[in-house]
Amino acid sequence: MSNTDIEIVVEDPTAPEANSPQVVSVRVVDVVVSLLLLALAITLGLDNWRAGAGWESTGPQPGYFPFYLSVILGGASLYGLVAAFLSRTEATETFVTRAQLRRVMAVFVPTVLFCVATQFLGLYVASFLLISGFMRLVGKIALWKSLLTAFVFTAVMFVTFDVAFDVIMPKGPLEAALGR
């Protein structure tokens, strides 16, 4: 036989367990989202009403088109709210289990920190920290591999964007010290 039988195997040791308890049901999230959308629709609707949602001699006022869209959005979310309340299937569906939420947070929290770091330290330093930290702490990959990967990736990004293509990214104290 040819080499078609060789298998590629990738393990996922930190995979979320299948029997983890649910944190919240689809119905609850659906209701909350519908309420938020309704609030958004009302806010935007009022703002457009203020901007003028009627007609003037030259045609529709600026708020006309978005005002009626807010009305449509509000109506649809109101319908969604009622539908979510009445839905039997959504109440039994799991939105996210505890184990899944832990994994999602393991990506989301570092991403938020990365954005904060970008604001103060510049994008390149932040991305080095994110990649090395994430690989080491979440992925449990050897420290030298993590640092090397992070450095190579960040360097490639820097050369591609800053040097070759002149796309300017947010920079911080390190770049300033290096004179870039």
Partner 1 sequence: MEALGLLMHGFAVLLTWKTLLLMMTGLVLGIFVGVLPGLGGPNGVAILLPLTFTMDPTSAIVMLSCIYWGALFGGAITSILFNIPGEAWSVATTFDGYPMAQQGRAAEALTAAFTSSFIGSLVAVMLITFLAPMISSFALKFGPPEFFAVYLLTFCSFVGLGREAKHKTVISMSLGLLLAGIGMDTVSGQLRMTFGSAELLRGVNFLVAVIGLFGISEILLTMEERLALRGHAAGISLRVVLSVWKDLPKYWVTLLRSSFIGCWLGITPGGAIAASFMGYNLAKRFSKDQDSFGKGRIEGVFAPETAAHASGTSALLPMLALGIPGSGTAAILLGGLMVWGLNPGPLLFVEHKDFVWGLIASMYLGNVVGLVLVLTTVPIFASILRVPFAAVAPMIVVSCAIGAFAIQNAMFDIWLMLGFGVVGYVFKKIGIPLAPFTLALVLGNRAEDAFRLSMIGSGGDMKVFWSNGLVGSITTLAIVLLFWPVIDKAFSGVSRMVRPAKA
Query: How many residues bind to partner 1 according to rule CB under 8 A?
Result: 80
| Rounded (5°) CA angle 170-173-178 | 100
Radius of gyration in angstroms for the set of CA atoms belonging to the chain, rounded to a whole number: 25
Closest separation in Å from C-beta 165 to partner 1: 5
Neighbour count for residue 154 (Cβ, 10 Å): 20
Helix (H, G, I), strand (E, B), or coil: what is residue 155? helix
- Per-residue x/- mask for partner 1, residues 88 to 127, rule CB under 8 A? -------xx---x--xx-xxx-xxx-xx--xx---x---x
Q: Interface residues for partner 1 in 2-61 (CB under 8 A)?
A: 2-12, 15-16, 26, 29-30, 33, 37, 40, 44, 47-48, 51, 55, 58-61
Cα–Cα distance for residue pair 27/8, rounded to 1 Å: 39
Closest separation in Å from C-beta 73 to partner 1: 4
Closest separation in Å from C-beta 56 to partner 1: 10
Q: Interface residues for partner 1 in 143-172 (CB under 8 A)?
A: 149, 153-154, 157, 160-161, 165-170
> Given phi > 0 = left and psi -120 to 50 = alpha, else beta, which region is 122?
left
